[in-house]
């Protein structure tokens, strides 16, 4: 179809008194991979469920493949494949039986079903396990089977809700390789949610979501470039002590802990006056005075995670 596959504007949904979506907007174009990025409770799952017609919104416009998912559910079902966050296949049926079941429910003709199943098993490398019960598969294989079942009717639009959460890193990588193959070979439009920033960078466009609304949208590079100011990364064996002593000086707008490293945000105005190099030197001096060892200290390009922290900081400061 022409035009965007998904169009959402001003979408609202509350569960009781708890708002899940506060006026969300979304546009997914044909052939792209769109990522909804955000922590738990951002409203990503609710948004996807509304698109599939599983949840009725409280207000706003929704069009999926040009139809209203509530009143015209049956018109969109053949065109979308939805993979929920939780494994939702029959654990007591085998890989082949699950695939056959969903193929038949989607009325895939027998001849097509055979070739499609063969292709999906090849794609997912589940061929050797076709007679194994789904419940006995590993976490990564389960996700690949779930993906295969949502693809069995060759949908235009694939909707994936945190497909790799709880999956080991190797399987995660494999899963995303499959998504890449699908996009390249079949041109399937993909709408994916993920809490992982490295996965977000594999999307064509992303939207950062937080508490039911959008923080930023664009290609991962665009979004990262929208970071105001500069960033200095400090790698240290004792990040807590380092962050503490940097904060105590009161010279930096924002000092954030990221596991074994610290991000020091340098405001645009500050960055221009003494120069980033001077600030790096200043940080070095503070840490040396406090006798806190560090392994590396350099200016860095902000990534999606930095944008996230910065935007959330803006909201909470307001």
Partner 1 sequence: MRPIFVLIRKEFQQILRDRAMIGIILIMPLVQLFLLSYAVTTDVKHIKLALLDQDRSRLSRQIGATLVHSGYFDLESRPATRLQAGEAIQEGRADLAVIIPLHFARDLETGRSPAVQVIVDGQNSNTSAIALGYVTRILQEVSSDILIAGLAAAAPGAAPRFIEAQTRVFYNPEMESIPYMIPGVISVLLTVATMLLTGMGLVREKEIGTFEQLMVTPIRPGQLLIGKLVPFALLGFLMLILALTVARVWFGLPFEGSPGLVALATLLFLLTTLGIGLFISTVTSTQQQALFIAWFVMVFSMLMSGFFYPIDNMPEWAQRITLLNPMRYYLAILRSVLLKGSGLVHLWPDFAALAVFGVGILSLTVARFRARVG
129 is an interface residue for partner 1 by CB under 8 A: no
Nearest Cα to Cα of residue 314 among 267, 249, 274: 267
CA atoms of 304 and 206, how far apart (whole Å) = 10
CA atoms within 13 A on the CB side of 90: 11
Distance from C-alpha of 145 to C-alpha of 137, rounded to nearest angstrom: 9
Total residue count of the chain as it appears in this document: 318
Determine if 92 is a binding residue for partner 1 (CB under 8 A).
Answer: yes
> Does 93 contact partner 1 by CB under 8 A?
yes
- Are 56 and 68 in contact by the 8 Å Cβ rule? The answer is no
Under the binding rule (CB under 8 A), the answer on residue 104 touching partner 1 is yes
Q: Which of residues 15-54 bind partner 1 (CB under 8 A)?
A: 52-54
Nearer to partner 1, 153 or 202 (CB): 153
Q: Is 72 in the site for partner 1 (CB under 8 A)?
A: no
* Position among 35, 84, 212, 302 found at the interface with partner 1 (CB under 8 A): 84
> Using CB under 8 A, which of the segments 77-85, 187-195, 208-216, 294-302 binds partner 1?
77-85
Residues binding partner 1: number (CB under 8 A) = 25
Binding region for partner 1 (CB under 8 A) out of 31-39, 79-87, 207-215, 241-249: 79-87
Contact 161, 48 (CB under 8 A): yes
Residues 257-296 that bind partner 1 (CB under 8 A): none
Assess contact for 204 and 180: CB atoms under 8 A.
no
Please name which of 43, 65, 37, 41 lies closest in space to residue 55, comparing C-alpha atoms: 43
If the CB atoms of residues 54 and 241 are measured against partner 1, the closer one turns out to be: 54
163 binds partner 1 (CB under 8 A): no
Among 3, 39, 91, 275, binds partner 1 (CB under 8 A): 91
206 binds partner 1 (CB under 8 A): no
Q: Classify burial at 40, counting beta carbons within 10 Å of its beta carbon; exposed 0-12, middle 13-18, buried 19 or more.
A: exposed
Distances (CA, A) of 168 to 45, 198, 286: 22, 14, 39
**x/- contact string, 51-70, with partner 1 (CB under 8 A)?**
-xxx----------------
Which residues contact partner 1 (rule: CB under 8 A)? 52-54, 74, 77-78, 80, 82, 84, 86-93, 97, 101-102, 104-107, 149
């Amino acid at each position: 179809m022409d035009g965007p596959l998904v169009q959402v504007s001003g979408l609202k949904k509350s569960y009781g008194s708890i708002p899940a979506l506060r006026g969300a907007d979304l546009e997914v174009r044909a052939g792209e991979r769109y990522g909804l990025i955000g922590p738990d409770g951002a409203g990503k799952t609710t948004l996807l469920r509304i698109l599939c017609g599983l949840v009725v919104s409280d207000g706003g416009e929704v069009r999926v493949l040009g139809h209203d998912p509530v009143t015209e559910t049956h018109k969109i079902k053949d065109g979308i494949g939805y993979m929920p966050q939780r494994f939702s296949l029959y654990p007591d049926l085998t890989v082949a039986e699950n695939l056959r079941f969903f193929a038949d429910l989607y009325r895939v003709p027998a001849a097509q079903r055979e070739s499609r199943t063969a292709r999906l098993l090849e794609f997912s490398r589940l061929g050797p396990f076709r007679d194994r019960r789904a419940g006995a598969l590993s976490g990564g294989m389960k996700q690949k089977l779930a993906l295969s079942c949502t693809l069995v009717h060759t949908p235009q639009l694939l909707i994936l809700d945190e497909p790799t959460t709880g999956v080991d890193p190797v399987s995660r990588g494999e899963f995303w390789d499959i998504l890449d193959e699908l996009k390249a070979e079949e041109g399937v439009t993909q709408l994916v949610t993920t809490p992982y920033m490295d996965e977000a960078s594999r999307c064509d466009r992303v939207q950062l979501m937080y508490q039911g609304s959008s923080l930023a949208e664009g290609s991962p590079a665009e979004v990262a470039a929208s970071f105001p100011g500069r960033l200095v990364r400090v790698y240290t064996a004792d990040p807590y002590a380092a962050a503490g002593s940097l904060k105590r000086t009161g010279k930096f707008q924002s000092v954030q802990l990221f596991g074994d490293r610290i991000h020091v945000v340098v405001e645009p105005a500050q960055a221009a006056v003494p120069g980033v190099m001077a600030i790096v030197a200043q940080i070095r001096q503070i840490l040396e005075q406090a006798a806190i060892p560090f392994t590396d200290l350099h200016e860095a390009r902000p990534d999606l995670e930095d944008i996230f922290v910065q935007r959330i900081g803006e909201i909470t400061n307001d």
